[in-house]
Chain A
Amino acid sequence: MTDAVLEALRSVIGSDGVRHNDAELKLFAHDASNLVGEAGVVCYPRTGDDVCRIIDVCRHFGIPFVARGSGTGLAGGATPIGGSVVICTTKMNRILDVDVSSRLAWVEPGVLNLDLTRHVARFGLHFAPDPSSQQSCSIGGNVANNSGGPHCLAEGVTSAHVLACDVVLSDGSLVRLGGEEPEFEGFDLRGAFVGSEGMFGVVTAICVRLTPDPLDVRTMLLDFETVRAGTDTVSAIIAAGMVPAALEMMDRLCLQAVEAFIHAGLPTDAAAALLVEVAGAPSAVAADAEAIERIGRQHGARTVRTARDEDERALLWKGRKNAFGAIARIKPNYYLHDTVVPRRHLSDVLDHVYRIAAEEDLVVLNVFHAGDGNLHPLLVFDKREPGVLERVHRAGAAIVEVSVAHGGVLSGEHGIGLEKRDFMPLMFSENDLRAQGWVREAFDPLGLANPFKVLPSPAGCGDAHAHVEGLWV
């Protein structure tokens, strides 16, 4: 990064908002994935105007920029390439407005997901998308990735909860996409923006929909002797006309790891367990819970454990949400995958996942959103073992390929980023990808917003694939 750029950035947002020391540059060279790029400088805007000014400098010098929230992304979406300017939104963390009667809130992008839910809990409301990282991930990051979470089965992913985004485009203009009003003129640019992985612009304020807390909740744990019995139960529940609030599955190895960690009395001898939560009005909850227990038993559930109180419910969820902490007891490193398959193929695809892991001599645990067919195979390893990363990457590629071959998709909630960029042709034709490039160009004709991500042959002129350490293929 040249002194002229640093000086220009300092002059527009102040010296304390511009960081260029080795420690920070190294820290911001990657997100929570193992894909390492190169940060040129890290900027901490405090306002939307600061973001405009930073982007003006980037445009003046022709330097790409990468927006970053908490850096919890798992697909390299916030990994800067070739010395990009990192625009870190952690200081833009104010909840600007809560309209309780209309059930919406305006927040800055750096507000943490769970902080918003905690803030509005006193009004009996919450923000529905609940990624497992919700204690640390930012809502700006949720918008960039169109994030999901266990409770998105019934409530939908982030896009269904975002009404408007204020966005700075690469030409420096600040635009409002969508709005509090329900119907707006023209194309749904708000819808296009959510999930654009930072490649369309930088969001500076977000209007989100808040969801009323359920009147009643029932949380159940069903365990099975085979994985197939568990996945068949999932399909049968959906086919019976129920959409539970959450429908999560853990396999044996995962149950064992989690039980050793949290001592919740999980069935460690089961092949798989389903965590089912039904929520809503009391009679509907009671009827659904009864039907789910019956369907579970018809499909061979050995036990059906219903949480008796909030403590037990919290304990069961703690097992699900802390699975990633638990696996550190097995091996020090993990690689978490994210594909979606039609629910009916869950069992077959899981068989393939076990086979692929065995062939690469890797340990695999599965803890995932079974209700939407969203697999999360977790490959655990010790990166000090020679050659292990190659095996992990080979296994990952095979899992993606087998998922798509079963009618699935590349990613359910983590995004494409750098991680799966070169897998996009598995799902999309050249025409499809070119059209996605048109949308990017419409928002960012200069190609400065987070280039080299998502699209395998970048549409912008002069784009070339920079080398990224840890990238697949």
Chain B
Amino acid sequence: MNRIDEFAARIGTAGEVWIRGAGSRVEPPENLRTVEAPTGISSFEPDEMTVTCAAGTRLSDLDDVLAERGQYVNLGQLRHPHGTVGGALATGWNDHLRLGRGPVRDSLLEVHVVTGRGDVVKGGGRTVKNVSGFDLCRLMVGSHGRLGAIAEVTLRTRPLPRATRWLSVDDVDGSRITDLFAHLYRPSAVLWNGLVGWVCLEGHPSDIETARAELRDHGFPSQESMSGPDLDALPYRWSIAPRAVVPHVEERSGQVIAEVGVGVVHGDEVPPRRNTDAAIEAIHRRLTDSFDPEHRLNPGAGDHLIR
């Protein structure tokens, strides 16, 4: 029996079950049967820029193997360095380099999941480009395992940047942040708290130097910064349209750090609950009823998101 079928057998076909990763993102509830996903990298092809691994593989183990060949996979590790590949995909949480590196959901090429019915279902394919059939991969990213327990995945890797540098720029108010952003060529991150801007630039060291000099010439002198600002003190994420970031930051009374150009705002206030459309909820319900008719997979996970 291969490791995917063995995982499916452990999940079985009846009774509630929680797929346990490292517990670094979401704590398993008490009194629920837990099953751990298989682990291990089955193939890493640097010249294909793909890696295939089981969902229980630790992110740190994957990072180490890829880094030996100068590559990485974007699974939001900068913000959430611990945990498993399956957990990173099931939550789909992004880190603050999303502006440059893209969202986590774009990293998944092929997925094998175990549905609530106990069937193994594959979506996508192992090549870097593929439009064969409907996109089950993107549906699984951020689904909190409610449609299927992720067993094995093929991910798209990327070359590690030649250099990564964080700069901070003082005296950036609401009238200047848009200007700062406009003077940067494809930054990996632009963070802003209403007064200070932090910029992450990745690429060739001399391009980074040039960009820094141009910023200075445009009236934005910068200091080197070891890393970006500390986001850990800001537990809540607001998600707003990028064009709404400046007024949002200016109106907040509490502490905030916004991802400019993305629209995530880290803050100490609980974001408001958004209304969901009845037609969208009906699609959610039909999906869940098909993939997991008894709603036995990860009951409650992401509940505020998925109803």
Residues of A within 8 A of B (CB): 99, 101-104, 145-146, 148, 152, 156-157, 159-160, 169, 171, 173, 175-177, 179-192, 194-196, 212, 215, 235-236, 238-239, 241-243, 280-284, 287, 340-344, 369, 372-374, 407-416, 420, 424, 427-429, 431-436, 438-443, 445, 454-455
With the chains together, A171 CA to B127 CA distance in Å? 36
B83 within 8 A of partner (CB): no
Check A373 against B129 for contact (C-beta < 8 Å): yes
Check B47 against A343 for contact (C-beta < 8 Å): yes
Of B162, B241, B276, chain A has the most CB atoms within 10 Å of the CB of B241
Check A102 against B48 for contact (C-beta < 8 Å): no
Q: Per a CB cutoff under 8 Å, which of B48, B128, B131 touches A415? A: B131
Check B48 against A342 for contact (C-beta < 8 Å): yes
B225 within 8 A of partner (CB): no
Q: What's the minimum C-beta distance from B246 to chain A, rounded to whole angstroms? A: 9
Q: Would you list 28 pairs from A and B whose C-beta atoms are within 8 A, ordered by A residue?
A: A99-B242, A101-B182, A146-B135, A175-B283, A179-B241, A181-B240, A183-B237, A185-B276, A186-B307, A189-B139, A191-B137, A192-B139, A235-B47, A281-B185, A284-B203, A340-B125, A342-B48, A343-B48, A409-B130, A413-B131, A420-B132, A424-B132, A428-B122, A429-B122, A434-B121, A435-B119, A436-B136, A443-B283
B126 within 8 A of partner (CB): yes
Query: Which B residues are CB-close (under 8 A) to A185?
Result: 274, 276, 304-306
With the chains together, A409 CA to B125 CA distance in Å? 7
Check A454 against B47 for contact (C-beta < 8 Å): no
Query: Which B residues are CB-close (under 8 A) to A454?
Result: 133-134
With the chains together, A255 CA to B48 CA distance in Å? 26
Within 213-268 of B, Cβ neighbours of A (below 8 Å) are at 237, 239-243, 259, 261-264
Check A182 against B290 for contact (C-beta < 8 Å): no
Q: Per a CB cutoff under 8 Å, which of A192, A344, A410, A427 touches B47? A: A344
Query: Which B residues are CB-close (under 8 A) to A171?
Result: 279
> Given A281-B204, A409-B125, A431-B119, does the pair A182, B239 have CB atoms closer than 8 Å?
yes
With the chains together, A196 CA to B125 CA distance in Å? 16
Q: What's the minimum C-beta distance from B120 to chain A, rounded to whole angstroms? A: 6
- A-B contact count, CB below 8 Å? 249
Of A241, A415, A428, chain B has the most CB atoms within 10 Å of the CB of A241
> Given A186-B306, A441-B290, does the pair A342, B284 have CB atoms closer than 8 Å?
no
With the chains together, A236 CA to B279 CA distance in Å? 49
Query: Which A residues are CB-close (under 8 A) to B162?
Result: 284
Query: Which B residues are CB-close (under 8 A) to A99?
Result: 242-243
Check A188 against B142 for contact (C-beta < 8 Å): yes
B57 within 8 A of partner (CB): no
Check B98 against A182 for contact (C-beta < 8 Å): yes
5 other A-B residue contacts (CB within 8 Å) besides A188-B105, A420-B132: A159-B138, A183-B237, A212-B185, A412-B127, A445-B286
> Given A101-B178, A243-B158, does the pair A188, B207 have CB atoms closer than 8 Å?
no
Chain A residue at minimal CB-CB distance from B49: A238
